[in-house]
Amino acid sequence: MSRRLPHWWQPELALVLALPLAALAGGALTLRAVAGDLSVDGLDAGVRRTAQVQTAQLDPDLAAARRGLLARLEIDRARGLVRVRVPAPGAATQGLRLDFLHPLHAHRDLHVRLRADGAAFVAPVAPARDSHWRVVLSDPARSWRLVGTLPRGSKALALRPALTLP
């Protein structure tokens, strides 16, 4: 025995109703996705905006390249500790500044001061392993900086100047 549909129901009616409803649902999901903090704004990179022109402050990158600075960052998530080794002598005498910048959400950024601990600098922080991080190491005066990208789940990273000298 076959089941009969009401006389007013036609397959074309389903199509006429489903398409606008799908467009409304997609629009609502899109608005929800972009309503969050999607910060890739360059505030921590020294970017200045004038009209539609962006001007980056590259002096700290050039200073690090001229001095030949490099660093190695290691994360011990079990102890909640970050260790940075800067092999260049005189790179820092009074501590360093370390920034973990989340690629999408600025409220998840981590900013810490590293203190000297023997041949390295340490801080009690461990970034979440579920995200990529842009890492910036600089002196307190921000006269030089080293940068790198920490892949999801990674425990170590080499920090280098963003620019190289010719």
Indicate the DSSP class of residue 24: H
58-159: CATH class: mainly beta
Asked whether the beta carbons of 75 and 156 are under 8 A apart, the reply is: yes
Q: Determine the average pLDDT of the residues in 140-160.
A: 88
Q: What are the structural domain ranges in the chain?
A: 58-159
> How far separated are the first and last CA of the chain, in Å rounded?
83
47-105: pLDDT as tens digits? 666 777 777 778 888 888 888 888 999 988 888 889 998 876 555 557 789 999 888 88
Indicate the DSSP class of residue 152: T
